[in-house]
A and B are shown apart, each in its own frame.
Chain A
Amino acid sequence: MVAVLGFFLFRVVPGDPVVSMTRGRPTTAAMQAELRARFGLDRPLHEQFWSYFTGLLRGDLGTSFTFRRPVADVIAERLGPTLLLVGTATLVAVLLGLWLGVRAGWRRGSPFDRVTTGVSLTLWAVPTFWLGMLLMMATGDLFPSRGMRDTDTPPDFVSQSLDVAHHLVLPSVTLVAVVCAEYVLVMRSSLLEETTAPYLVTARAKGLRDDLVRRRHAVPNAVLPAITLVFLRFGLVVGGAITTETVFSWPGLGLLFYDALTGPDYFLLQGLLVVTAGAVVVMNLLADLLHGVLDPRVRAA
């Protein structure tokens, strides 16, 4: 299903890979025809689809037009950086977002609530591109402006990891700032729903302190929607963060997606769709399974 969609969706993308590849270079019609034949673009669409589909079943994602290498290789080398960046950012955003959401929701209308909600909504509304550039300018010389590694870092492991961490700061801060609001709001609103629940009255009647009521009774119930959201987001993580990766030239899948579209590099686009869609499906499955663990009602059902 994903394969079918990917195949036909990207064929609709305007542009001709052979034309964009040869544009601006001395070429002859014969050379263009050779290229078309090599890429299999001269064959009828249904034949192209069939050979792609059978390849896919064998685990062969095809060869990228642009990079002249197997799509699987190209994607694999970009997967690590993306997981690192978006994984780190999501983790921080989730922890920070849930914590802020709980605090804000528990004392609705307090100055803390208003500031948190206001700031996170503002950051959410800010264009990622702009925020990234702004951060880059505001921090001046403190952080590198591109990529994942410097080219003249000593090759030993410690220097390399420190260098990567150094490069990771700005992109992940940008990403956290932008996605954090979602977790704050979901956590806050689901906690709000619980605040009027009768079992909290019971808990208070038992004489529990406010903190404990929140921690032991309200939050565990309110966290379920947030968990679903986290896993849904985690599935999309693999797709990368196109804008952030673009601003900071982070060599991840988002950047690859962007580059592939300008070809258009059909096989690469299809491969990326299959991988990202696969990740979403797997993560959704995980979310469902985890729900069973976290929520006894689901387990019973």
Chain B
Amino acid sequence: MRVKLCVLLAVATTLGLAAPAATAQAPVILKVAIVQQIDSLNPFLAVFQSSTEINKLMYDYLTAYSADDQAVVEGLARRWEASPDKLTWTFTVPDGKKWSDGEPITAHDVAFTYNLMLTDEAARTANGSFVANFESVTAPDDRTVVIRTKAPQVTMLALDVPIVPRHVWEQVGSVKDYANDRMPVVGSGPFVLTEHVPGQFIKLRANEGYWRGAPKYDELHFVYFQNSDAAVQALAKGEIDLVNRMAPAQFDSLEGKAGVTRNQAQGRRFTELLINPGARTRTGEPIGDGHPALRDVRVRRAIAQAIDLDALVDRVNHGYAEKGAGLVPPVFAKWHWRPEPGQERPFDPDAANAALDAAGHPRGADGTRFSLRLTGRAGRAYDEQAAEHLKRSMSDIGIALDVRLVSDNQLNEATTAATYDLAFSGWATSVDPDFILGLHTCAQRPGADGKGGTTDAYFCDETYDRLYAQQLSEFDEGRRRDLVRQMQARFYDQVPAVVLAYDNALEAYRSDHFARFTTQPAHGGVIMAQNGVWGYYQAEPAEVTAARPRGWGGFAAAGAAMAAVLVAIVAYALRRRATAGERE
């Protein structure tokens, strides 16, 4: 019995006192919370935002976007020029840049990457759209990449394609089955992937040989959280250093918290209300079951006019958003559009009522003109609250709303099959407006089989499409800007959707661990989810780093308590056994 007790005591002591001694030179680590799964770290397959963000840290693109104002700056290529007919682009990859294994980065790596995408269908999974217009890609020498396109393409300096090392990827048999997990993964970015445990974490270490200079700390860890409340708590405790995509309430909860700095940034996302304009497929067949009244642009305008956008931003976004207008958020100031005086549609329920009367939808006996379905996502706070708000706004103009909050998948299904009247949606936009503008062209609607569409607004407008084609081959930036703004004005006027708000990106970091992060753009910009990786790359550790809580005290207490209980139980049992004979 004494032996047993000793063993137990020893265990308890080990549990209690095994707090690891701090090593003299612990590496400086930036720990970032991610709340989305990693689908793959193979840059040709990865589509989740979390994965592309990590791929960006591992591989540079041909060009990059500056932190200050998102202008195009040097990436792997330092210089570029287009031929007069804009069909041939020549990029120069300078001497001296190296892969993380020391091999030089050459034009052949670039050509190899693009050609892999042109020849291998699987390699087009994630970024195929960027090479859809490519005719050929060649590397006449180590420094020069020549890309020929089928038609002039204005987005040639916005090719967001990770360039991979040829000497590694030549050995890869099948891109579609390659998990890119030969650690450390050879790359060109500021960090090198060293470990990935699915569902748990990803570790990267600083690339000492990075051509812009090594990062100012040693390791970058992404730790996975399934729920954002836990991530915010972990930040408050100091377990992690950086978190983004917070909800307004979570953001508010960190106000005034010692050692935590919050960052309310202009985001790249907008939230919109789709108004089914009578959806049709690319071939012209009607699809879905949108309410026929919405085919009339006067009705759509009246609905838009009856929505008080300021009140929505105020009450539903809790002020963490800007009032919506055009398709491009104000963070991309160059392309952003706001209605001029005279173009705008101020909040005016009376005018909306009059317009509906004029459009031939008189109020019925109960004061209702017709009723519409509003589809949104269950469990998303915005949809739940905004739906209530819209219900009141619509009842003011005699439209009854039947609110249907459904799962994410069901919402996707409703919008891709056009089985909605009104629905909440939203998109993230990129530096070049081509993606978000192209999304609303006739060609993006689904084919005759109802598949292959990417739009959810089913907008198809001749004027808009003509402007889209023009801007795509307009290489004068001033003129292109005019065209892009005209497109947004047209979209606003035809109202296939109402842009409700440009959401702020809500982030927070431990300023007692990391003193400074670079935001993009410089003022009011984001740290995470940038068009680039400046936030992670230029993060500066605090002079005196506050210790992370290890919680070993609690562990020791729990361990000791458990051990004590065990000891008590064993002792009790032994005593009973010893006296059992006497007692019976």
Residues of chain A having any CB pair with chain B under 8 Å: 13-16, 19-36, 38, 66-69, 74, 77-78, 133, 136-137, 139-149, 151-154, 158-159, 162, 165-166, 169, 209, 212, 245-249, 251, 255-256, 258-259, 262, 264
Residue of B nearest to A25 (CB): B47
Residue of A nearest to B29 (CB): A152
By the criterion CB–CB under 8 Å, are B45 and A68 in contact? Answer: yes
What are the residues of chain A within 8 A of B427 when measuring CB–CB? 24
What are the residues of chain A within 8 A of B283 when measuring CB–CB? none
| B85 contacts partner chain A, Cβ-Cβ < 8 Å | no
A144 to B554, CA, bound (A): 10
By the criterion CB–CB under 8 Å, are A143 and B554 in contact? Answer: yes
- Our pick among A136, A154, A212, A264 for the contact of B233 (Cβ within 8 Å) is A136
- Our pick among B31, B121, B129, B435 for the contact of A38 (Cβ within 8 Å) is B121
By the criterion CB–CB under 8 Å, are B39 and A68 in contact? Answer: yes
By the criterion CB–CB under 8 Å, are A19 and B584 in contact? Answer: no
Interface size on B, as a range, is 35 or more
By the criterion CB–CB under 8 Å, are A32 and B451 in contact? Answer: yes
| B428 contacts partner chain A, Cβ-Cβ < 8 Å | yes
Q: A32-B451, A69-B179 are in contact. Are A249 and B124 (CB under 8 A)?
A: no
Question: Which of B410, B416, B552: most chain A Cβ within 10 A?
Answer: B416
By the criterion CB–CB under 8 Å, are A209 and B584 in contact? Answer: yes
Closest Cβ–Cβ distance, residue A65 to chain B (whole Å): 9
- Chain B window 440-464, contacts with chain A (Cβ cutoff 8 Å), 1 for yes, 0 for no: 0000001100011110000000000
- Our pick among B223, B233, B416 for the contact of A16 (Cβ within 8 Å) is B416
By the criterion CB–CB under 8 Å, are B124 and A147 in contact? Answer: no
If over half of B's interface residues share one DSSP class (helix, strand or loop), that class is named, otherwise mixed; here it is: mixed
What are the residues of chain B within 8 A of A20 when measuring CB–CB? 408-409, 412
Residue of B nearest to A248 (CB): B230
By the criterion CB–CB under 8 Å, are A14 and B199 in contact? Answer: no
What are the residues of chain A within 8 A of B201 when measuring CB–CB? 147, 149, 151
A16 to B176, CA, bound (A): 20
Q: A68-B179, A247-B227 are in contact. Are A145 and B237 (CB under 8 A)?
A: yes
| B263 contacts partner chain A, Cβ-Cβ < 8 Å | no
Smallest CB-CB A-B distances: 7 pairs = A142-B554, A15-B409, A251-B199, A29-B452, A26-B129, A141-B549, A151-B221
- Our pick among B27, B197, B237 for the contact of A141 (Cβ within 8 Å) is B237
A-B contact pairs, 25 of them (CB 8 A): A15-B412, A21-B47, A28-B128, A29-B447, A32-B452, A32-B454, A38-B176, A68-B42, A136-B233, A137-B233, A141-B549, A141-B551, A142-B555, A142-B558, A144-B551, A145-B233, A145-B237, A149-B201, A151-B223, A152-B27, A212-B584, A245-B226, A251-B199, A255-B199, A262-B408
A31 to B126, CA, bound (A): 9
Closest Cβ–Cβ distance, residue A98 to chain B (whole Å): 14
What are the residues of chain A within 8 A of B29 when measuring CB–CB? 151-152
By the criterion CB–CB under 8 Å, are B122 and A154 in contact? Answer: no
What are the residues of chain A within 8 A of B583 when measuring CB–CB? 209
| B308 contacts partner chain A, Cβ-Cβ < 8 Å | no
- Chain B window 174-209, contacts with chain A (Cβ cutoff 8 Å), 1 for yes, 0 for no: 001101000000000000000001111101000000
By the criterion CB–CB under 8 Å, are A251 and B198 in contact? Answer: yes
A125 to B375, CA, bound (A): 32
| B420 contacts partner chain A, Cβ-Cβ < 8 Å | no
What are the residues of chain B within 8 A of A19 when measuring CB–CB? 412-413, 416
Closest Cβ–Cβ distance, residue B267 to chain A (whole Å): 14
By the criterion CB–CB under 8 Å, are A249 and B412 in contact? Answer: no
What are the residues of chain B within 8 A of A148 when measuring CB–CB? 200
- Our pick among A23, A31, A68 for the contact of B128 (Cβ within 8 Å) is A31
By the criterion CB–CB under 8 Å, are A159 and B20 in contact? Answer: yes
A20 to B36, CA, bound (A): 14
What are the residues of chain A within 8 A of B434 when measuring CB–CB? 26
